[in-house]
Amino acid sequence: MLNNIFDVEDMPNHKIYETAQAVIQDYMERKHCKIGLVASELETTTGVMYRQLNPKDYQMSLSIDRIVAITKLTGDTRIIEVLANEFDHVLVCKKKAQAKSSDINLLVDIANMENSDVFRVVKKAIEDNEITPDEREEILKEIDEAQKANAELKDLVLHLAIKDQ
């Protein structure tokens, strides 16, 4: 399994490599293929693919060009989402069609649930007046999910405003 090839280290960009490996693995499972076919579709070799997905290989690191190629091939934006998160940004896809007023109800409910999850996790974590590293990661994960839900809601409202003008 591709995810088990490399050891986890405390690297600032390790999560990007980890996510790239997961995206490739999921794509291979969906397409019922091996890494050689993925490498071929990306116009490279299996050896180069393995090297680029190895966070310890400093001579052939994962480039932004390769990230874009993987994202286009797989249709999976998780690598770019993790990259955006590294810079404290939230990735939200632009809507192709204009939004309808009726769509806002669902997104408000989703945003409300995600924000409630943040409050719940934080309240639970501070019960003992100490936040553990695991609790910190859970809080940050919930905050990221809430930010994404709020950003999608914001995008919808912007589309409504444009449509209604």
Q: How far is CA 12 from its chain centroid?
A: 16
Q: What is the pLDDT at residue 124? A: 93
Q: Which pLDDT value is given to residue 135? A: 94
One digit per residue, pLDDT tens: the chain, 165 residues?
A: 454 555 555 455 778 899 999 999 999 999 999 999 999 999 999 999 999 988 887 788 888 999 999 999 999 999 998 888 888 887 777 655 566 667 788 889 999 999 999 999 999 999 999 999 999 999 999 999 999 999 888 888 777 655 544
What does the pLDDT read at residue 3? Answer: 47
| pLDDT for res 164 | 45
